[in-house]
Structures are given as C-alpha cells and as structure tokens.
C-alpha cells in the first residue's frame, strides 16, 4: 500500500517536468497570440520587416533585426569556440599526458562555472578596448567582443561534449589504425573524429543553442541597436538583449511593449528548442554502435 | 611500417617520404593542439588578472557590509549578498527534493509495459530538452506564473490574499510628525478622521486621535501633539509587514525568484542525481531485494544513502549555477536599485550577479571597478562552495562494492 503511495509521489515529480515544458509552451505562445492580435502588429510585419522598434514612436515589428543580431554574435562565438574546442578535445582525448590533463580539465571546469555576467564585464572592459587598439573605428558596443566572450563561454561545453564523443570510440578502432602504421594525427583525424562525428555534431548544435540563448554578455556588450548587418564590428541588439531592455523599462501598463517580450521569447525558444531536439536526435539515431 | 623491407627502390623512396611526412605532420599537430589547449588556460588567467586588477582596490570588509550607493567609494554588496543567500537557499529547498524524487522515478522504477516505457523515455527526453532552454525563457515563465500568477489572484497592488500585513494611512501633521490610521486594504480610500478614534504612532503605540480644526490651534505639549491631526492633513498608504508576510499573487518577491531559479536548475539536479543513482552497483540493490526488501525499502535504506555523495555533488553544481544566474532574476525583480535588504519573503530583492550587471552598465567607469570587486566576491563565494563540495565528496567516498 505504502509502495504505491510512494510511487505516486515519485510519478508526480516526473509529471512535474512535463508540466514545466507545457507551461513554457503555453505561456509563450498564449501571450504571443495576444501580441499578434494587437492592432499595431501583423504577422507579415513580424516575419518580413527588417526593423524592430516597439519602444519608440514609430513602432515597427520586424523580428529579423533581432534575429540577425543574435546570428552575428553566434557566428563569431562559434568561430571561436568550435575550432578551438574541437582541437582541444582531440588533444585531451588522444595526445594529452597525465600532467597536462590535470591542468586542463580543472581549467575548463572553472571556465564553465564562471557566471555569465563576469564574461559580460570582461567583454566590455577588456576585449572591447583591446579591439579598439587594433581598429579604432569599433564602437564601444559591438557584436565582435560580445561574440568572442560568448565563444569563450561555450568553449568548455564544446570541449567536454566533443571529448565524450571521442572517448566513446572503442580502443579497437584506434589500435587497428596504429597497427596499420598510422601516426596519432592519422588516427585522430582519419579514424576517431569521423567515427565520433554524430556526437561532435550534436555537441556543436548544443553549443550553438547555448550561444543563441546567452543574455548577460550581449546585454552588457553588444548594444541596443537592432539592425540587419553582417559586419560584427557594428552595434547590434540580440533577441535576449531586447528582452533585458524591455524588462528594465516600465511594463506595468501591459501594452504592446510588454507583449512583444513574449513574442521574442517564443521565437528564441523555438530556435533553441529545435537545435536541442535535432542535436539529441542526431546523437541517438546516428550513433555508431560498436558492440 | 618503417621496419618493413621494401625491395623496389622507387617504392622504398615513396614510402620513406610519406612516412616522414606524416610523422612531421603528427609532431606539428601535437604542438599546435597543445598550444590551442593551453590557450584556454591563458584566457582564464587573463580573465582573472583583469578582474583582480580592477577590483582589488575596493575589496575590504566595508564592501561586504555597505549598501549600494551613488558614490563608488562607499558602495557595497551587502544587500545583494543577503538576497543571494535567501533566494538560493529557498531554491535549494525546492530543487533538491523534487530533483531527487524525479531521478528516483526515472532510474529505479523502470516500467515494463510498452506504453509506460514510451512515457518514461518521453520524460527523459523532456528533461534533456529543458536543460537546453535559455534561462531568460524561464525568467519569462516565472514572470507570468509566479509574479503575476496568470492574473488569477488579482493584481500586484490589489492582492487576492494576504497575511502578516497591517494596512495604514499615514498622515503627517503640521509639525511633521506621522500618525497612522488603520484602513481596510491597499485600495481603500483616505479614511474619515474622527476625534478620539484609534490611531497608531510610528513606534506602534496605540493612541486616541486628537482632531483640531483646520485653522488651529495646535496643542503645545509634545505627547498630545504626537497624536494630533487636522482635517487638512495629507498622507498616503503605508503597509506594515511582518517577517512572515505572504501574499498572492507573489509579485516581484524573493519567493517568486526562488521558484523561478529552481526551474532553471532542476534539469541539472535531475541529471546529476540520475548519474549518482546509476553509480550505485546493482549488487547492493539485489542484495537488499534478496533479503526481502520492497522496492522503496531498498531505495531508502540502500541505494539512496550510497548515492548521497553523488547527489550532493550534483546539488552543489546546480546551486553554483543558481548563484551565478542573473537573467531569470532580472525578469522577476526588474532592474531595480535596492536601498534596503529584503525583510520578508515577499520583498523586492536583488542578487549578486544582478548587482554586478547594474554596476557594469553604468556609464561611470568608477563603478566598473566596483563591479569587478563584486565579481571577486561572487567568485570567492562560488569557489568556497565548490571547495566544500570536493571536501565532502572525499570524506563520504567509501568503496561501494
């Protein structure tokens, strides 16, 4: 009797997590529906317009301005995190002697545990001035330094997930390749990496999702100007940066500004959720089974 | 391969070239990847050096005990520290039981029939996805669900339910002294002043109101003056809240922030607890079953105690994340300037990362240095937290089989 009672409690806990997902979807899309049913907003504007200015006099609601800002920062971040993370992971998994490992692993753990505000501070106060030394035309708020900081943030994630994927490749494959006369480089890049490819791609996708969802770094360093530009040296605003801007202002009137928050959050959620799900599916479905 | 004898000179030369070429490439790559790997160490050191260089000058005990101030010299992190302790403490209270219970459900009670199994893997997939949701989205969810509570319990300034609060209309008489008159609720209108009605002094003492005409004369002696008002006296709403003040909707409160943060770290806690439970060798469980234990008895007496170090480690990781999160808290509390520490669970609050953000986003560069000091405090807190975790992990580590 007691057993089933206990099971009921535990099952309720399991159900709670489903409730949370349902709540996220319900709240985001429900309030976004409210947003889209406001007179100033049309669906075609949202998806086709390239200007975003709900907080100013001339209200325009094109989401591309914010999405473009997010993408520029993310591309810079991935340009930093993916190559460096992959190489570091290969080194850790295939080359590293014990002593170097004992320095590297804790370092990466510390980097992963540093709160994002700290990276935002670092971007604003250290990276931006150094960039301005190289190119004096770079404004204080720019996507480049924010992107670099986001990249540093994502580096431990890429490294650890990629290293897991590389380590999952069985020793027998490696030893077969060594037996055929391969160097470590041959074995790593021609055998192990292709074998672990699904895990590596999954790691990359999760890192991209993390970069897209990053808030504090871009709020501090990227800027407040939503614009569709390709050059990361410009000031941009990301989806998350806009959300910070709205909540910092006066939202008690529950007007179109308040509801725009939900529409942007819904867009953000759809993008990151798709990336996470696709990453998970790739990891499970294309995982090479060796035993 | 270099030991194999190749007799054809053409092939021998080709083999020698390709081998030495590949060996060189290998050496180059080894050096290159080591350099890249050490780049992370370099970045960490540069990061910490930049912070210490800016922040060290303000770091002293008065920084920990002062409140945020308009002057950078005098600013301190006390309020944010208290806020962090309160919010993260409550967050742990919510997250730990719920996370461990879900982990037990997922790992120990594996269903047999195919429908439940599908449900089971759905819940598992769901948790992995929740771990990838950006924390701002949790902040938005918390805003709607905990702060405004979907509008089900009235508005923020007209709550549907309150305990632990006394509502007053605070009048100020011509001498600048305050007299409090009790009223119904926050939305009640200015009360009618009647001579002899019960009123309160700011100290809490109950007095009889002395009403004088609008033109005067005002009494001379202090005790009577303290309880005197005229019909023209002006005032405003004042709510006196005790430490157990509770209201629905929760509003921008410590409790709402704690609940939101627990949503953020719950997936991490669940996954970590699952890893801990999986680490318990099944021989222990099977021994318990063999001795006649039911499933729950086996969990409670055998599996769970063995998994405690791992669960604790997971808790520490989850709480470290919670301490450092600013975005969801910002959605809940708004980017406000706090002048006093939260006195009850419904009060406005701020946390350390949010305070650091606030300082960093000011145009005055002096405050950036104060932000660096705040970062040092935050990092020290996280460091000591994790050090405690490592120590506990070492102490509790007993061989399990």
Comparison of pLDDT for B148 and B70, the residue scoring more: B148
The pLDDT mean for chain B works out to 84
Cα–Cα distance measured from residue A90 to residue A178, given in angstroms and rounded to the nearest whole number: 16
Query: With the CA atoms of A45, A46, A51 and A55 taken in that order, what torsion angle do they form, in degrees rounded to the nearest 10?
Result: 110
- DSSP annotation of B215 reads T
Q: pLDDT tens for residues A148-173?
A: 999 999 999 999 999 999 998 888 98
Tell if the CB–CB gap between A117 and B44 is shorter than 8 Å: no
A277 contact B CB<8A: yes
The H or E element that residue B274 is part of is helix B254-278
Cα–Cα distance measured from residue B134 to residue A243, given in angstroms and rounded to the nearest whole number: 12
User: Closest by alpha carbon to B35, among A87, A32, A206, A39?
Assistant: A87
| pLDDT for position A228 | 87
Stretch among B35-49, B127-141, B203-217 having the lowest mean pLDDT: B203-217
Instruction: Find the closest chain B residue to A275 by CA distance.
Output: B132
- DSSP annotation of B363 reads S
Q: pLDDT tens for residues B317-358?
A: 899 999 999 999 998 887 667 777 787 888 888 899 999 998
* Neighbour tally for B290: CB within 10 Å: 10
Question: Residues B76, B67: contact at Cβ < 8 Å?
Answer: yes
User: Closest by alpha carbon to B100, among B299, B287, B281, B237?
Assistant: B299
A29 contact B CB<8A: no
Q: Say if residue B2's pLDDT is above 60.
A: no
Query: With the CA atoms of B330, B336, B342 and B348 taken in that order, what torsion angle do they form, in degrees rounded to the nearest 10?
Result: -70
Which of helix, strand or coil describes residue B153?
A: coil
| pLDDT for position B17 | 60
Residue B80: CA count within 13 A, CB half-sphere: 33
Q: What are A95's two structure tokens?
A: 């080359």
Q: Which residues, 6+ apart, have CB-to-CB distance to B240 below 8 Å?
A: B165, B166, B168
Question: Residues B299, B104: contact at Cβ < 8 Å?
Answer: yes
Going by their DSSP bridges, the two strands B154-155 and B228-229 should be labelled as unpaired
- The vertex-A180 CA angle with A179 and A181, nearest 5°, equals 90
| pLDDT for position A214 | 93
Question: If you search the block for the tokens 């195919």, which residue do you land on?
Answer: B114
Q: Which residues, 6+ apart, have CB-to-CB distance to B164 below 8 Å?
A: B241, B242, B243, B244, B245, B246, B344
Cα–Cα distance measured from residue B342 to residue B81, given in angstroms and rounded to the nearest whole number: 11
Distance of CA B344 to CAs A137, A143, B1, B187, B399, Å?
A: 50, 41, 75, 22, 45
Tell if the CB–CB gap between B144 and A16 is shorter than 8 Å: no
Chain A residues 149-208 within an 8 A CB cutoff of chain B: 152, 155-156, 159, 180-186, 206
Q: Which residues of A51-65 are buried (b: 16+ CB within 10 A; e: fewer)?
A: ebebeeeebbbbbbb
Burial class (CB in 10 A: 0-12, 13-18, 19+), B236: exposed
Tell if the CB–CB gap between A240 and B134 is shorter than 8 Å: yes
Please list every residue in chain A whose beta carbon sits closer than 8 Å to the beta carbon of residue B51: 118, 121-122
Tell if the CB–CB gap between B51 and A118 is shorter than 8 Å: yes
B368 contact A CB<8A: yes
Cα–Cα distance measured from residue A148 to residue A130, given in angstroms and rounded to the nearest whole number: 12
Q: Which residue stretches of B133-228 are H helix? A: 135-142, 222-225
Stretch among A194-203, B31-40, B129-138, B240-249 having the lowest mean pLDDT: B240-249
Cα–Cα distance measured from residue B213 to residue B217, given in angstroms and rounded to the nearest whole number: 7
| pLDDT for position B398 | 62
ipTM: 0.91
A35 contact B CB<8A: no
Cα–Cα distance measured from residue A204 to residue A275, given in angstroms and rounded to the nearest whole number: 10
B283 contact A CB<8A: no
| pLDDT for position B261 | 94
Instruction: Find the closest chain A residue to B383 by CA distance.
Output: A110
| pLDDT for position A166 | 92
* Neighbour tally for B318: CB within 10 Å: 27
Read off the pLDDT band of B142 (50, 70, 90).
very high
Collect the ranges in chain A with pLDDT lower than 50.
291
Question: Residues A105, A88: contact at Cβ < 8 Å?
Answer: no
* Crossing angle (nearest 10°) for helices B352-360 and B78-108: 130
Question: Residues B272, B318: contact at Cβ < 8 Å?
Answer: yes
| pLDDT for position A241 | 92
Cα–Cα distance measured from residue B131 to residue B127, given in angstroms and rounded to the nearest whole number: 6
Q: pLDDT tens for residues B260-306?
A: 999 999 999 999 999 888 888 888 888 888 998 888 888 888 888 88
Q: Say if residue B395's pLDDT is above 80.
A: no
- DSSP annotation of A88 reads H
Burial class (CB in 10 A: 0-12, 13-18, 19+), A45: middle
- DSSP annotation of B200 reads E
Cα–Cα distance measured from residue A235 to residue A131, given in angstroms and rounded to the nearest whole number: 14
B104 contact A CB<8A: yes
Average pLDDT estimate for B231-250: 82
Stretch among A44-53, B214-223, B384-393 having the lowest mean pLDDT: B214-223
In which order are the strands placed within the sheet that holds B234-248? B206-208, B198-200, B178-182, B161-172, B234-248
Query: pTM for this one?
Result: 0.88
A121 contact B CB<8A: yes
Query: With the CA atoms of B150, B154, B158 and B162 taken in that order, what torsion angle do they form, in degrees rounded to the nearest 10?
Result: -100
Q: Say if residue B229's pLDDT is above 50.
A: yes
| pLDDT for position B401 | 47
Tell if the CB–CB gap between B325 and A206 is shorter than 8 Å: no
Q: pLDDT tens for residues B31-85?
A: 999 999 999 999 999 999 999 998 888 888 888 887 777 777 778 888 889 889 9
Q: pLDDT tens for residues B87-115?
A: 999 999 999 999 999 998 888 777 777 87
* Neighbour tally for B223: CB within 10 Å: 10
Cα–Cα distance measured from residue A249 to residue B330, given in angstroms and rounded to the nearest whole number: 12
């Amino acid at each position: 009797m007691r057993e089933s009672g206990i099971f009921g409690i535990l099952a309720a806990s399991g159900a709670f997590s489903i409730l949370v997902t349902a709540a996220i979807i319900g709240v985001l899309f429900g309030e976004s529906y409210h947003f889209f049913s406001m007179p100033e907003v049309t669906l075609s504007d949202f998806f086709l317009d390239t200007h975003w200015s709900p907080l100013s006099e001339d209200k325009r609601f094109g989401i591309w301005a914010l999405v473009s800002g997010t993408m520029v920062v993310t591309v810079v971040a991935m340009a930093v995190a993916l190559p460096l993370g992959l190489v570091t992971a290969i080194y850790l998994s295939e080359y590293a002697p014990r002593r170097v490992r004992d320095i590297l692993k804790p370092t990466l753990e510390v980097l992963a545990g540093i709160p994002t505000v700290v990276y935002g501070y670092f971007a604003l106060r250290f990276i931006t001035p150094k960039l301005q030394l190289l190119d004096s035309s770079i404004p204080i708020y720019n996507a480049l330094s924010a992107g670099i900081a986001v990249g540093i943030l994502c580096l431990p994630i890429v490294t650890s997930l990629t290293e897991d994927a590389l380590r999952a490749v069985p020793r027998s494959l490696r030893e077969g390749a060594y037996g055929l006369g391969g160097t470590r480089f041959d074995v790593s890049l021609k055998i192990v990496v292709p074998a672990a490819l699904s895990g590596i791609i999954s790691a990359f996708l999760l890192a991209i999702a993390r970069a897209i969802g990053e808030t504090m770094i871009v709020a501090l360093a990227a800027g407040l100007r939503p614009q569709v530009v390709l050059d990361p040296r410009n000031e941009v605003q990301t989806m998350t940066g806009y959300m910070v801007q709205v909540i910092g202002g006066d939202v008690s009137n529950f007007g179109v500004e308040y509801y725009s928050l939900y529409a942007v959050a819904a867009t953000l959620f759809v993008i990151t959720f798709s990336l996470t799900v696709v990453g998970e599916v790739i990891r499970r479905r294309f995982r090479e089974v060796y035993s | 391969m270099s030991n194999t004898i190749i007799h054809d000179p053409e092939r021998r030369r080709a083999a020698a070239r390709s081998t030495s070429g590949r060996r060189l490439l290998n050496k180059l790559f080894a050096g290159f990847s080591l350099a890249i790997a050490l780049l992370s160490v370099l970045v960490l050191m540069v990061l910490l050096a930049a912070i210490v260089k800016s922040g060290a000058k303000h770091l002293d005990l008065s920084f920990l005990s002062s409140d945020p101030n308009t002057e950078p010299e005098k600013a301190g992190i006390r309020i944010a520290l208290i806020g962090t302790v309160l919010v993260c403490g409550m967050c742990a209270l919510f997250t730990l039981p719920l996370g461990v219970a879900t982990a037990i459900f997922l790992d120990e009670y594996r269903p047999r029939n195919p429908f439940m199994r599908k449900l089971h893997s759905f819940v598992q997939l769901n948790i992995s996805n929740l771990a990838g949701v950006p924390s701002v989205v949790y902040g938005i969810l918390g805003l709607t669900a905990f702060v405004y509570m979907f509008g089900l319990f009235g508005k923020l300034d007209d709550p549907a339910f309150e305990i632990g609060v006394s509502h007053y209309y605070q009048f100020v008489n011509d001498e600048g002294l305050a007299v409090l008159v009790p009223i119904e609720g926050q939305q009640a209108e200015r009360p009618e002043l009647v001579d002899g009605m019960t009123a309160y002094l700011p100290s809490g003492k109950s007095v009889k109101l002395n009403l004088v005409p609008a033109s005067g004369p005002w009494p001379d002696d202090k005790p009577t003056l303290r309880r005197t008002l005229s019909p023209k006296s002006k005032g405003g709403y004042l709510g006196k809240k005790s430490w157990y003040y509770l209201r629905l909707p929760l509003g921008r409160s410590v409790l709402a922030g704690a609940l939101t943060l627990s949503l953020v770290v719950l997936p991490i806690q669940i996954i970590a607890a699952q890893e801990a439970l999986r680490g318990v060798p099944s021989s222990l469980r099977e021994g318990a079953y063999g001795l006649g234990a039911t499933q729950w008895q086996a969990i409670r007496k055998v599996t769970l105690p063995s998994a405690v170090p791992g669960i604790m480690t997971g808790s520490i990781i989850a709480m470290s994340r919670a301490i450092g999160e600013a975005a969801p808290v910002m959605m809940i509390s708004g980017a406000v300037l706090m002048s006093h520490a939260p006195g009850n669970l419904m009060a406005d609050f701020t946390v350390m990362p949010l305070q650091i953000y606030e300082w960093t986003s000011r145009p005055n560069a002096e405050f950036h240095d104060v932000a660096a000091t705040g970062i040092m405090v935050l990092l020290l807190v996280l460091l000591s937290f994790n050090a405690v975790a490592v120590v506990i992990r070492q102490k509790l580590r007993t061989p399990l089989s």
